[in-house]
Chain A
């Protein structure tokens, strides 16, 4: 089925058409389930690890469906096939993000549209300032998890293409159908956000290692 037909089905489902809604739920269930299952099995710890995993998968999968359709399908309507992401990939990233959020904070986080990035533009932090950023592998792992949680599916997709897969700039422009200026702006913002999250983690890491009496001082 092409993207145009999928968008038609999506619109019909959001308008309450039961046929389209049933089709969509059947088509999306496997990808949501597998991302949720991965997230839970690979990262849950402590109390959460003792719960019935099947029940957890069911609950979280249903929760993600409700997030997709909340507020007149705000999240689903933000899917733009011309940006080079299939609906399944898009929904998979939403599922990963939500699962990461639940595992970190123990609760569902409301949908955010890259608020950190908007804030980031206003602050316009310098890129790669004089202060050095040091990062252990554990901090970098933590940063990857935070990025999954903080970024919208499009932001996460772009971060993946630009920094993790290190694709040439022109290739990212081609794959996403975005203008070079837009990709350039995203690249700067994503880099600043990643740096900021890393610095936060480094500071909290140092804070945790400092003796208690120093912290009281």
Chain B
């Protein structure tokens, strides 16, 4: 067999193996790890996990490794980095400092800690989820989880964006709401109330001149000055929340109904 022949066969075997693997573990399992499943898909996999030992193991293997695990990994890596750094040169013995010198040193240390605190960048934002949009009627599919909020032009609405863990430096947080459909992207004027944990309550009104149909409501939470450019939202997939170090964008499909005609 010459090289071309067995290499062709190798490619064929590779395709077969990939198909076989997808047959056993389709891409929903990968999306489970990535937190990219719809509630319906997640329910399906949960139900599947109860049908066989193989599926139960898949559920255990793919369900997301949480914040505790990630914090452990960060600590392990930091230990490795610290251990790999060369030891600092030992300091020579010094004469006992005078009391005034001691106070000066203490003041300098406090100032250094303050400067360090002020200059230390804030921790990345945790993932956020959006609670039900209230003040609206809903369109229901066959399943309750498939409810799509239904609003009309001029309707008032409110929702809460809740962080998975407490956000740091919440005084710097900002929240914005956008509606997008194809190339049409508009920012809504909203009132927001941010609590010390980083939860954000937003209240707003749907524009009166908006067209009826399906829209994506984007709720964006981020650090002041670091929020995404609105044009960036056009390029994001609206299938799942988008999480960055300084901002989070949570999409939700809503339906705008035609405004009722006056009697």
Contact = CB atoms under 8 A, between A and B. Distances in A.
Contacts of B61: 36-37, 40-41, 53-54, 56-57
Q: How large is the interface on B (under 10, 10 to 19, 20 to 34, 35 or more residues)?
A: 35 or more
A124 interface: no
Contacts of A18: 74, 78, 123
Given A19-B123, A30-B34, A9 B10 contact: no
Provide the main secondary structure of the chain A interface: helix
B172 to A, nearest CB: 14
Given A34-B29, A37-B61, A62 B73 contact: yes
Interface string B243-257: 111000000000000
A121 B54 CA distance: 44
A191 interface: yes
B1 A22 contact: no
A33 B80 contact: no
B77 to A, nearest CB: 5
Contacts of A135: 1, 6, 9-10
Nearest to A138: B13
Provide the main secondary structure of the chain B interface: helix
Interface string A4-22: 0000010000101111111
A9 B34 contact: no
Contact of B60 (A17, A53, A127, A194): A53
B77 A25 contact: yes
Interface in B1-30: 1-3, 6-7, 9-11, 13-14, 17, 21, 24-25, 29-30
A211 B59 CA distance: 45
Given A16-B81, A53-B60, A72-B84, A23 B29 contact: no
B20 to A, nearest CB: 9
Q: How large is the interface on A (under 10, 10 to 19, 20 to 34, 35 or more residues)?
A: 35 or more
Given A19-B245, A65-B77, A26 B65 contact: no
**Best-surrounded residue of B30, B58, B84 (most CB of chain A within 10 A):** B30
Contacts, number: 142
A24 B245 CA distance: 9
B171 interface: no
B33 A30 contact: yes
Contacts of A42: 21, 24-25
Interface string A38-66: 10111000000000011011100110011
Given A23-B245, A140-B10, A33 B64 contact: yes
Contacts of B35: 30
7 contacts: A19-B124, A33-B65, A42-B24, A53-B57, A58-B69, A134-B1, A164-B10
Q: What are the 10 A-B residue pairs with the smallest beta carbon separation, nearest first?
A: A37-B61, A34-B33, A30-B34, A128-B3, A140-B13, A34-B30, A54-B60, A23-B245, A23-B124, A30-B33
Given A21-B78, A34-B29, A38-B25, 9 more contacts: A30-B34, A30-B35, A37-B29, A41-B61, A62-B69, A133-B1, A135-B10, A163-B11, A191-B3
